[in-house]
Amino acid sequence: MDFLWKETLAESFEAFLNTGEDPREQKHVFLNDDGEEIEDETFRWMAERILTDVKTKKPSLEAFDEKITFLNSIKNEIATMKTVSDIGWLRVHATPLIKELQNTVTQWIDSHTSFLLDNTMQEIRNIQSFIEEVSTGIKVIPEAAETKKEKELLMKVMEHVRDVKMIKERTLSEIEPMK
């Protein structure tokens, strides 16, 4: 429990985030039919569209859960402390100290849960923006591709379909654990 006064929340939280791996810094590959490694461009596509302004260097959700559970156990331990202690002829009322410690632990818990919420909300906003962009982009589908304008419009629609295909699985795999 001494970490509450030996460490700052900001430094400790940043150190906690740095224990995770950043998928943007990792190599994303898959094996083709010949067993050769091929760079998986779907992650790059997804990262450019969905992970803008999202902090990706972070520990797993399990690590967050473990840390938050630990902090809650500290908070519960503080709540069970005696509020009055007699030391010889001196009576110490620890209620203000206990309340301050609980407030401090609550700030630590809130920093972890707020990070998850804010990061996820940014990712959701990015997804909504992408959906709006695609929805707008495929509203008008040309009847034929005979003129240059019709061909350009068809190519734009096809780009949107490609974009959806490229990021669909990656985005779903990012969101699924957050449900």
pLDDT, tens only, 116-174: 999 989 988 998 998 898 888 888 887 777 888 888 888 888 888 888 877 777 677 66
Give the pLDDT confidence score for residue 176 in this predicted structure.
61
- pLDDT beyond 80 at 76: yes
Spatial neighbors of 166 by CB under 8 A, at least 6 apart, are 41, 42, 45, 46
Cβ count within 10 A of residue 17: 16
Mean pLDDT of 6-31: 87
- pLDDT beyond 70 at 56: yes
Give the pLDDT confidence score for residue 96 in this predicted structure.
92
Among 23-32, 89-98, 137-146, the range with the most confident prediction by mean pLDDT is 89-98
pTM (predicted TM-score): 0.77
Instruction: Please compute, for residue 154, the number of CA atoms within 13 A of its CA located in the half-sphere on the CB side.
Output: 10
